[in-house]
Structure 1
Amino acid sequence: MAIKITDECINCGACEPECPNNAIYEGGVEWAIADGTSVNGEYTLMNGKVVDAHFKNEPLAVDTYYITPDKCTECQGFHEEPQCASVCPVDCCVPDEMYQETIEELLAKKERLHL
């Protein structure tokens, strides 16, 4: 399951540099699959939409940092635990119940992002 940042976020930014997939963005900033990954060309998002990896998607939040589920792997294949949650001073990085994924699915996503 992907991680999400709750409304309790204090915008400290501690989480952003810790993400190995560059899945965390400052509020209001557009995101792309290619940001911090080795993906080029077409990429199929979790909702089935096919986009160019460099296409700038709308921000998922405006006022706080956010995590895009299309890039979040819960740090599987990189670390023992999600790094955003381990550095968050207010514990606002929590599992996102909307995105149920197995460890195998998260590892497969990691492989697609880091060719």
Structure 2
Amino acid sequence: MTIKWVQQDPLVLNGEPFCYGSRLTVRQLLELRTSGYNLTRILNDHPELRVLGIAAAYVYAASDRERYAEFFEADGSLAGPGYSEAEAAGLPAQYRIPGVVLKSGASAA
């Protein structure tokens, strides 16, 4: 079974895209990141989330920059702390995007 990590349903959370298995919207997750929450703190506060699901939410936001424009820096990276290279090591390659999932300046190797 393939999990769709970011879901959208007009009958759930007023149609706002949300993280699978939670009631946390992509926007709320980006607000946490912008407020300085790193991956560890997000997972501690929201144990229902998964590392891959959070990365998928960041990639989703990057694919809809117009909707989430206030969370992006002038250089195109997401504001706030991203994943370290160690935290992203287990992610599929399509999720290891520097400046979006990975901290700015980290490589996608």
Structure richer in helix, relative to its length: 2
Tell me if TM exceeds 0.5: no
Length-normalised TM-score, structure 2: 0.29
Structure richer in strand, relative to its length: 1
